[in-house]
């Protein structure tokens, strides 16, 4: 095992640190020595979503303790570290800055470099950290509160963006629909639970088919020639129409006014019966899960992928996991999903992506800044 690295993640509302080391084993290249996550979801719950200013202040309060705990758990002292890794972006700028400033100061004090990491590269490499190297090429869907992005991975450490959401991320749609149904924040786990008691055929919500070009951005996301033109357009995502359909139904069922914002806030959710909430949750979830998986498996087929991966917070969804697995079995393509502890935000995945960059010859430095809209397409 090589000298360990310390990874830091503060891009949104989880303060996280982890210690990892390269194993020297080409099939299972990285070992996780510790991973500590302090979630802020209690803090943001009463606001119904993440409040950026509160998030960055809480990162400042929690980060030293979280780093200490990660080092102690791993049995590693700062002097043992060979590098730091930190999420550079995308994310909330104030939150990212806390991690980046901390990582630079800590690394400088130890005389070691800092590897800046893209948050989505972290989600993708969480699959390799958990399961070992995937058969390549692979199609990997990163689906979280901020992203719904489909990547083609032709070789280790290369990530080509082939599909993305044109509006809301899938996790964002979960969170907004949960709010409408009075299920609280974060909404994904709450809808996942409620849906178990519901009839998924109770409501026929529309599944968006993107057959027309986006007027603001007419090019499909996949680079020219990677996919046939009609397929390239079809593997972009859209969830805002679905969210509006749920809003209309809730207004109809509760007698809430058709105009005005009040019905979108969950203020009328109390008028829904638990069975209505369960049926809406199950029907909404059926449409989201098939939209995600139809596109991922269609892209995988055209790209001749030898494996499919699904990562990010929404990959914790029980229906998505079960259906991805059964489609994989049916189509004879292995499907990889991270364990729950690695699917929502954590620092172990950031360490994994940093070890990937180190393998490829990156040396790290202090000369980078937090970038809230950092692209990943390389």
Residues of the shown chain interacting with ligand KG4 in the complex, contacts defined by CB under 6 A: 12, 144-146, 171, 174-175, 186-189, 192, 312-314, 316-317, 344-345
CB atoms within 10 A of CB 64: 13
Cα–Cα distance, 180 to 333 (Å, whole number):
37
Given the rule CB under 5 A, which of 96-104, 196-204, 219-227, 342-350 is the region that contacts Zn ion? 342-350
- If one asks whether residue 15 binds Zn ion (CB under 5 A), the answer comes out as no
Cα–Cα distance, 110 to 64 (Å, whole number):
16
Q: What are the Cα distances from residue 133, in Å, to 244, 307, 336? A: 40, 11, 10
Q: What is the nearest approach in angstroms of Zn ion to the Cβ of residue 273?
A: 34
Among the listed residues 109, 35, 29, the one whose alpha carbon sits nearest the alpha carbon of residue 76: 35
- If one asks whether residue 281 binds Zn ion (CB under 5 A), the answer comes out as no
Q: What is the nearest approach in angstroms of ligand KG4 to the Cβ of residue 31?
A: 23
Out of 13, 168, 175, 345, point to the residue binding Zn ion (CB under 5 A): 345
Binders of Zn ion among residues 146 to 185 (CB under 5 A) are none
| Nearer residue to ligand KG4 within complex by CB, 83 or 314 | 314
- If one asks whether residue 56 binds Zn ion (CB under 5 A), the answer comes out as no
- If one asks whether residue 144 binds Zn ion (CB under 5 A), the answer comes out as yes
| Nearer residue to ligand KG4 within complex by CB, 14 or 279 | 14
| Nearer residue to Zn ion within complex by CB, 22 or 292 | 292
Strands 307-311 and 138-143: parallel
SS3 at position 226: coil
Given the rule CB under 5 A, which of 141-149, 245-253, 262-270, 367-375 is the region that contacts Zn ion? 141-149
Binder of residue 309, out of ligand KG4, Zn ion, none (CB less than 5 to 8 A by kind): none
Cα–Cα distance, 172 to 155 (Å, whole number):
30
The DSSP line for 297-311 is: HHHHHHTT-SEEEEE
Return the CA Rg of the chain: 21
Q: What is the nearest approach in angstroms of ligand KG4 to the Cβ of residue 167?
A: 15
Binder of residue 89, out of Zn ion, ligand KG4, none (CB less than 5 to 8 A by kind): none
H-state helical runs in 303-363: 318-331, 340-343, 348-359
- If one asks whether residue 10 binds Zn ion (CB under 5 A), the answer comes out as no
Q: What is the nearest approach in angstroms of Zn ion to the Cβ of residue 123?
A: 6
Q: What is the nearest approach in angstroms of ligand KG4 to the Cβ of residue 187?
A: 5
SS3 at position 163: strand
Q: What are the Cα distances from residue 50, in Å, to 10, 11, 13, 43, 211? A: 13, 12, 7, 9, 33
| Nearer residue to ligand KG4 within complex by CB, 21 or 354 | 354
Length of the chain (residues):
378
In the sheet that holds 30-39, the strands lie side by side as 30-39, 14-22, 5-9, 83-89, 114-118
| Nearer residue to ligand KG4 within complex by CB, 37 or 263 | 37
| Nearer residue to ligand KG4 within complex by CB, 116 or 313 | 313
Query: Bridge-partner residues for 16, per DSSP?
Result: 9, 37
Tell me phi and psi for residue 366, to 5 degrees.
-110, 5
Binder of residue 317, out of Zn ion, ligand KG4, none (CB less than 5 to 8 A by kind): ligand KG4
Q: What is the nearest approach in angstroms of Zn ion to the Cβ of residue 292?
A: 16
Binder of residue 145, out of ligand KG4, Zn ion, none (CB less than 5 to 8 A by kind): ligand KG4
- If one asks whether residue 126 binds Zn ion (CB under 5 A), the answer comes out as no
Among the listed residues 162, 324, 165, 188, the one whose alpha carbon sits nearest the alpha carbon of residue 241: 165
| Nearer residue to Zn ion within complex by CB, 21 or 85 | 85
Q: What is the nearest approach in angstroms of Zn ion to the Cβ of residue 361?
A: 26
Q: Name the residue whose CB lies closest to Zn ion.
A: 144
Q: What is the nearest approach in angstroms of ligand KG4 to the Cβ of residue 143?
A: 8
The DSSP line for 164-197 is: EBSS--HHHHHHHHHHHTT--SSHHHHHHHHHTT
Cα–Cα distance, 129 to 127 (Å, whole number):
5
- If one asks whether residue 87 binds Zn ion (CB under 5 A), the answer comes out as no
The DSSP line for 19-40 is: EEEE-S-SSS-EEEEEEEEEE-
- If one asks whether residue 125 binds Zn ion (CB under 5 A), the answer comes out as no
* Binding positions for Zn ion, rule: CB under 5 A: 144, 345
């Amino acid at each position: 095992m090589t000298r360990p690295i310390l990874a830091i993640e503060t891009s949104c509302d989880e303060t996280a640190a982890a210690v990892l080391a390269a194993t020297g084993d080409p099939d299972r290249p990285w070992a996780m020595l510790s991973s500590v996550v302090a979630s802020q979801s209690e803090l943001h719950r009463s606001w119904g979503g993440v409040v950026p200013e509160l998030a960055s202040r809480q990162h400042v309060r929690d980060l030293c303790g979280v780093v200490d705990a990660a080092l102690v758990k791993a049995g590693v002292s700062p002097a043992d570290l060979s590098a730091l890794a930190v999420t550079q972006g995308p994310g909330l700028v104030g939150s990212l800055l806390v991690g980046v400033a901390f990582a630079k100061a800590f690394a400088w004090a130890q005389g070691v470099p800092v590897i800046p990491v893209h948050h989505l590269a972290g989600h993708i490499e969480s699959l390799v950290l958990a399961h070992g190297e995937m058969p390549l090429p692979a199609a990997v869907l990163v689906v979280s509160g901020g992203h719904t992005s489909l990547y083609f991975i032709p070789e280790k450490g290369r990530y080509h963006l082939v599909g993305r959401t044109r509006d809301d991320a899938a996790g964002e749609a979960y969170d907004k629909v949960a709010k409408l149904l009075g299920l609280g924040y974060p909404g994904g786990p709450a809808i996942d639970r409620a849906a178990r008691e519901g009839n998924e055929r109770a409501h026929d919500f529309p599944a968006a088919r993107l057959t027309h070009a986006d007027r603001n951005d007419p090019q499909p996301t996949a680079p020219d020639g990677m996919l046939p033109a009609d397929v390239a357009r079809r593997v972009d995502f859209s969830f805002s129409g679905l969210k509006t359909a749920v809003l209309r139904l809730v207004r109809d069922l509760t007698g809430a006014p058709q105009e005005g914002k009040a019905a979108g806030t969950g203020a009328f959710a109390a008028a829904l019966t638990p069975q209505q909430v369960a049926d809406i949750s199950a029907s909404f979830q059926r449409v989201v899960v098939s939209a995600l998986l139809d596109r991922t498996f269609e892209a995988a087929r055209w790209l001749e992928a030898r494996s499919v991966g699904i990562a990010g917070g929404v990959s914790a969804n029980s229906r998505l996991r079960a259906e991805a697995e059964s489609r994989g079995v049916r189509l004879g393509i292995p499907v990889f999903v991270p364990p729950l502890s690695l699917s929502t935000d954590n620092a172990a995945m950031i360490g994994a992506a940093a070890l990937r960059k180190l393998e490829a010859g990156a040396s790290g430095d202090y000369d980078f800044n937090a970038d809230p809209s950092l692209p990943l397409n390389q």
